[in-house]
Amino acid sequence: MGQETEKAIPRLRAVECGFCGHRYIQPCTTATQAECPNMIAKLAISNAEPQASIRHHYIPVFYLKRWCSGDGKICEYSRPFKKIYDRRIFPVQTGFLDRLYEKKGVPKLIAQQVEDDFMKSVDTLAADALKLIETGDPKINSDQKYRSAWSLFLITLMTRMPEDVAALAQILSDDWERDLPRVRQKYASERKTDDPPTLEEFIEQKDPDHMARLTMNVLPNLMDHEEIGQLLNNMRWFVLTTAADASPLLSSDRPLFMSGTFSEADCYVTLPIATNRLFIATNSQQIERKFRSPPQNELIQSTNIQLAKQAAKYVYGNDNAQSEFVDKYISGERPKSFFEKLRDYRKQKYAPRGP
């Protein structure tokens, strides 16, 4: 591909449900779902237990399938202790954490809403968009649905991992702690005679899961970030296909690499999309030429090193031929993710100052 989009393509934003009027990717609150015609209709469909997904894949199965060998399996590398391990598994057997995106303290029917209504939609559209990217279909440049879908998928790869969810939860918890004195004062002034004596006791009785639920309410909105999505839409997208005799590209549980901030002229994004294909997005023709010009073996080597170094737990390949390579570069001291950097920045910003 390599051609630059002639004009900025407006991002496809979340739409309202034509049935109930609520935003599609933003789950209803506990208070509103009881009056939502959509939810009432769902509840009326059957008295059977709702079939919701609890196995939440932070590395999508459609993506990992691209490293499958003839047996339908991939090679998962990990180093839980000192020794490197590899095992052949199906893509569905890795890159997941049960109930990772679960909303606490809501009816069972909507507890998995982030996974079932948001993440699955993201991954399904991304799989369709990737087919257009690989085949050079012009729709990827002209159709906002697919271009925005791929941009959204790239953002989720920076924000959907277990450590990202934990970092976001900590950010929100820190914000809550900073607001506690004000909220305590307000509670004390408005407390009814039959209310618990302290705010903490009131929360424990009424809504102990409010912070966990807040994290899941905020997460999809941060992933579907309009400004970042538009910056990604405006970048130059192309795919490099490696030679038949070249070393295979690896992947990991943090497969996306971003060189800097999206607004920088020399920023680029890389994502292996198969053993022989690398998706690249750049902000300039000059950076694109640099990717196309060096020997492929150097690019593959540097990409695989980066993937192994930034892996949280797993590196993926189509066989175990690169065990020695992974053992050399996989590290317990990976670079911090976007949310982890934001958490640390905010801690430093709001840290008490000395006299």
Neighbours of 46 (CB within 10 A): 9
| pLDDT score at 9 | 54
Q: Closest Cα to residue 285, out of 266, 303, 259?
A: 266
| pLDDT score at 354 | 67
| pLDDT score at 11 | 60
Q: Closest Cα to residue 339, out of 176, 226, 225?
A: 225
Specify whether the CB–CB gap between 234 and 144 falls below 8 A.
no
% of the chain at pLDDT higher than 70: 85
Structure confidence by residue, pLDDT tens digits, 229-241: 999 999 999 999 9
For the record, the structure tokens of 132 come out as 């257009």
CA distances from 331 to 79, 100, 114 (A): 9, 24, 31
Structure confidence by residue, pLDDT tens digits, 276-297: 999 999 999 999 999 998 789 9
Distance CA 171, CA 156 (A): 18
| pLDDT score at 332 | 73
pLDDT of 33 > 50? The answer is yes
pLDDT of 16 > 60? The answer is no
The dihedrals phi and psi of 271, each to the nearest 5 degrees, come to: -150, 115
Label residue 49 exposed, middle or buried (CB < 10 Å: 0-12, 13-18, 19+). Answer: exposed
Beta strands in 182-303 (DSSP E): 236-241, 251-252, 257-258, 268-274, 277-282
| pLDDT score at 36 | 66
| pLDDT score at 13 | 56
The dihedrals phi and psi of 266, each to the nearest 5 degrees, come to: -100, 15
Structure confidence by residue, pLDDT tens digits, 127-183: 999 999 999 999 999 999 999 999 999 999 999 999 999 999 999 999 999 999 999
| pLDDT score at 353 | 78
Tell me the domain boundaries of the chain: 30-161+224-340
Mean per-residue pLDDT over the chain, rounded: 88
Distance CA 288, CA 53 (A): 40
pLDDT of 3 > 50? The answer is no
Structure confidence by residue, pLDDT tens digits, 333-345: 899 999 999 999 9
CB-based contacts of 321: which residues, under 8 Å, 6+ apart? none
